[in-house]
Amino acid sequence: MARLALIDKALGLIERKPASDRFILRMLFFAFLGSSIYFGLIVNNSFVDISPSYGGVLTEGIIGTPRFVNPVLATTRADLDMSALIYSGLLKIGVNGELVPNIAEAVTISEDGRTYNITLKKDVRFHDGTPLTARDVVYTITLIQNPDLKSPVRGNWNGVIVEELGEYEINLVLEEAYTPFIENLTIGILPRHTWDELPIEQIPFSQLNTEPIGSGPFEIESVSYGVSGLIEAYHLAPFDAVSGRPNIDKVTVKFYKNESDLVEGFNKGEFSSTAQLPSTELSKINLNKYQVINEPLPRIFGIFLNQNKSAALRDESVRKALSLALDRGQMIDEILYGGGLPTESPVPSGFLGLESINLSTTSSTSTPLKQAREELVAGGWKQDDLGFWTKTIAGESVTLGVTLRTANTDLFDSTATYVAVAWRELGVEVRIEQFEQTDLLQSVIRPRDFEAILFGIDMSRAIDLYPFWHSSQKDDPGLNISQYANIEVDSLLEDALTEQDVALRIESVNKVANIITEELPAIFLFTPTFSYILDKDITTASITRISRPYERFMNIESWYAHTERLWPLFREDK
């Protein structure tokens, strides 16, 4: 009001001037007023911060029906995604992909790498207001370890001793040092007071599995049920116990029976975000009004070779030629619709900063097929009149052929077909044999009954290569299905298993990767990427170095849909 009075007074003074002067004075006055306002806005915008503010809605579509929204029992996409929203762990994945404290205030690892001393934050509470203490952590871990419950994550906690040292302090003692163990500390913590009176056999049937109480960034506000009695949607409200109140005001999670229903719901506008849709389904969605986030997953698809079953595959030139003949970029475009990264190493592309070794030794203008032929010729192989390659090995004439076994799912079928076409064009006899996944495991992988097998492996965020490449794991139930053995690799893997210095551990793993890439006990093809479709109005925290789709929610409290302009003095975080 005072400013308006000053403007009125100035205009009054101008009106008292002679008519010949009034026009010029008015122009000068309004020019001065306009420039003052403009200058004020410039100064204001230079000093204010644009900060996330509360508000906005996230509506997520997920395939499946929730049954175990419980981190101890969850296995399906629906259960794992919901558990990530409802529960919080001792640690979580930070915005840069590193592990950071969550419920834990500090984690201290002993010099021998066996004891993890964990102190908890003292102000953490569950959604019902009950404080979260060491008793809840001990209860959760011992429940996981109970063989009668059959928790899917029990193997991660075998042999771990849990010691409650105080109300907010525990020790975890391992039988032997294992550096990747720390990844297990992201498991959600259950409230002991709601579960401990239930007999172990009743836990899987408890209503708490679908109407859970956790300490995560969101709590259940209401549940929508369909006519069949199955859950159709969760409506979640923000909760501020651990990492502060989330910026998003409301999260609604809707569930769909299958991919077709999910895509139909997306196109109808029933939700505005979803994860891990197959590439074939993405083409059915108008993505113009959405943002698409793509990040590599710590998984590798490749062809694992059993040199004990094939004299030809024992020949290094054959293994190199078979690898060179495959155009991985084209394979990804045609089979994954771009949803992957070319991989020629046992380390997934995009992890550990490993630079993939290019097996090509010829000019860049040479085609993969030409390079492969040159490799075979250099290895002493000759083509007969029918175009097949032959070589005398140990006094016997060997024709180059491969029997490729794999699962009978769409992805493996398409990939095997692509590989077979490329190898046949090279002049290799190729036979494809497909199995149901259970039969593949029991009849092919466990007895190592194959020449070559197209398969995928998942090594978690820790990129632990030990189970897949250490010679002690050659036989079932080990996962070194190529039966690879190398003394130097064994030593490096053992070092990486216990090394607590991250840089030194990465150095060991990269050395292993280089050796395996040179010796080619397997032909690595691609690293699949995680895709997340999201409304452009939502700004997410960085989603990097995740190993499972549900980990996209690890920093959801930092996501926002609205912003506000504030002078730094008035920001709550200053």
**Mean pLDDT throughout 334-338?**
89
What is the enclosing helix (H) or strand (E) of 41? helix 19-47
In the prediction, which pLDDT does 278 show? 77
Task: Tell whether the model's pLDDT for residue 28 goes beyond 90.
Answer: no
In the prediction, which pLDDT does 543 show? 83
pLDDT per position as a tens digit, 56-97: 999 999 999 999 999 999 999 999 999 999 999 999 998 888
In the prediction, which pLDDT does 574 show? 44
- Give the separation between CA 474 and CA 453, rounded to whole angstroms: 15
Task: Tell whether the model's pLDDT for residue 571 goes beyond 70.
Answer: no
**Mean pLDDT throughout 33-53?**
63
In the numeric block, which tokens belong to residue 29?
A: 């006055």
pTM of the model: 0.85
Q: What is the mean pLDDT of the chain?
A: 89
- Confidence band for 363, pLDDT divided at 50, 70 and 90: very low
In the prediction, which pLDDT does 362 show? 39
- Confidence band for 350, pLDDT divided at 50, 70 and 90: confident
- Give the separation between CA 143 and CA 154, rounded to whole angstroms: 9
Residue indicated by tokens 């029997």: 403
In the prediction, which pLDDT does 14 show? 52
The three-state secondary structure class of 256 is strand
pLDDT per position as a tens digit, 500-550: 898 999 999 999 999 999 999 999 999 999 899 999 999 887 788 888 999
- Give the separation between CA 517 and CA 407, rounded to whole angstroms: 25
- % the chain with pLDDT above 90: 73
- Give the separation between CA 11 and CA 139, rounded to whole angstroms: 77
The three-state secondary structure class of 60 is strand
User: Is the alpha carbon torsion for 480, 482, 486, 487 positive or negative?
Assistant: positive
In this structure, the number of other CB atoms found within 10 A of the CB of residue 64 comes to: 17
Radius of gyration of the chain (CA): 30
**Mean pLDDT throughout 552-559?**
92
Identify the burial level of 303 via C-beta atoms within 10 angstroms of its C-beta, where 0-12 means exposed, 13-18 middle and 19 or more buried.
buried
Residue indicated by tokens 């080990």: 478
- Confidence band for 45, pLDDT divided at 50, 70 and 90: low
- Confidence band for 46, pLDDT divided at 50, 70 and 90: low
**Mean pLDDT throughout 149-167?**
97
Dihedral, CA atoms, 45, 48, 53, 57, nearest 10 degrees? 20
Task: Tell whether the model's pLDDT for residue 128 goes beyond 60.
Answer: yes
